Amino acid sequence: MEEQNMCTAATYKTKDFYFGRTLDYEISYGDQVVITPRNYVFDLREGGQLKSHYAMIGMACVMENYPLYYDAVNEKGLGIAGLNFVGNASYKKPVEGKDNITQFELIPWILGKCATVKEARQLLKNMNLIDTPFLPDLPVAQLHWIIADKEECITLESLEEGMKIYDNPVGVLTNNPPFEQQMFMLNNYMGLSPKQPENHFADKLDLNMYSRGMGALGLPGDLSSASRFARVAFTKMNAVSDDSEEESVAQFFHILGSVDQQRGCCEVSDGKYEITIYTSCCNASRGIYYYTTYSNSQITAVDMHREDLDGSVPVHYPMLTKQQILWQN
């Protein structure tokens, strides 16, 4: 069976626009927050280079000085994240006359060229997502993507029958099944509400609300991707916060915290458990990347605008994974 690590991505908007995700897996690959400046050269596998482009910041695994981004936003406020889509993702062979882009080039290609989702839609019209690996001995990650700015959100899926671009009105993405099915299954929860319930079961029965929160009775709590999609969609769509930076960031982490994976709850093999390795929240409007890790619940921040964005060398910040405790006495 192929590896099917689980992740969740979401958007949130107050005064600014926020974009982030969880990365759930049993091991880490030395992930780093990477700022790629405007003049770093991306060599594209099917010819050509991405030279002068928008600067971007995100979480990546760096190999051969190349940032393999899991999620990132650019200086214009456009964000994209790739999430596992094993068994459904299908990449093609290069086609003449098309923009032949590998799955690991997709994030910098879109963020480097596009300022908005509207521009990304246009760019994607001529794209052919190809099955070239980053290195010969590395498997090609089977992914689908959430792409968002402050105005709109879309989901991109490359399927056997071709590339699909869906409007994403909930601003949420997890893994399988395909996005259309995930959205359809939200119909199962249309009766849920953050409000306290009334008795619609039977007029002749004296039924009482014996606990707060019963309006959302039936909201799934397991760790499957379909359940996480419903849970985060409910949490995000009903989230309320002030529009300050502190309140907005805190609320975003609470939204994704609704699907945190704790070690011991999702066994992938004997003695190995999937956990939420990191959770990110990027203020896409200001280029600030916030994150927490499984062992460090303190929020850490990196501001792309504190670096030289006209440079040509990426700036790396290894994740701070050791728990930080603020003593009050």
List domains and CATH numbers for the chain. 7-189+240-318 (3.60.60.10)
Instruction: State the pLDDT at residue 277.
Output: 97
Tens-digit pLDDT profile for residues 138-153: 999 999 999 999 999 9
Give the pair of three-digit tokens for residue 296.
């460090």
d(CA 124, CA 73): 17
Single out the residue of 2, 13, 24, 17 nearest to residue 293, CA to CA: 24
Give the side-chain half-sphere CA count within 13 A for 316: 14
Instruction: State the pLDDT at residue 22.
Output: 98
Tens-digit pLDDT profile for residues 167-212: 999 999 999 999 999 999 999 999 999 999 999 999 999 999 999 9
Are residues 248 and 14 in contact, defined by beta-carbon separation less than 8 angstroms? yes
Are residues 275 and 283 in contact, defined by beta-carbon separation less than 8 angstroms? no
d(CA 193, CA 209): 14
Q: Look at residue 65 and give its three-state secondary structure.
A: coil
Instruction: State the pLDDT at residue 1.
Output: 40
Q: Given 7, 153, 266, 282, which residue is catalytic?
A: 7
Return contacts of 192-200, CB within 8 angstroms, 24+ apart.
192/216, 192/217, 192/218, 192/219, 192/234, 194/238
Distances in Å between the Cα of 141 and the Cα atoms of 69, 146, 188 are 12, 15, 31
d(CA 283, CA 305): 12
Instruction: State the pLDDT at residue 28.
Output: 87
- Residue 279 contacts by C-beta under 8 Å, 6 or more apart in sequence? 20, 21, 22, 23, 253, 256, 257, 260, 291, 292, 293
Are residues 88 and 116 in contact, defined by beta-carbon separation less than 8 angstroms? no
Instruction: State the pLDDT at residue 79.
Output: 98
Are residues 281 and 9 in contact, defined by beta-carbon separation less than 8 angstroms? no
Instruction: State the pLDDT at residue 33.
Output: 98
Catalytic residue flag (residue 7): yes
Instruction: State the pLDDT at residue 193.
Output: 96
- Residue 153 contacts by C-beta under 8 Å, 6 or more apart in sequence? 11, 117, 146, 147, 167, 168, 169, 171
Give the side-chain half-sphere CA count within 13 A for 186: 19
Tens-digit pLDDT profile for residues 296-312: 999 999 999 999 999 99
Give the pair of three-digit tokens for residue 38.
């405007």
DSSP state of 96: T
With a cut of 70, say whether residue 4 has pLDDT above it. no
Instruction: State the pLDDT at residue 29.
Output: 87
Look at the block and give the residue holding tokens 């910041």: 57
End-to-end CA distance of the chain: 51
- Residue 233 contacts by C-beta under 8 Å, 6 or more apart in sequence? 170, 172, 186
d(CA 169, CA 153): 7
d(CA 179, CA 234): 16
Tens-digit pLDDT profile for residues 275-289: 999 999 999 999 999
d(CA 124, CA 42): 18
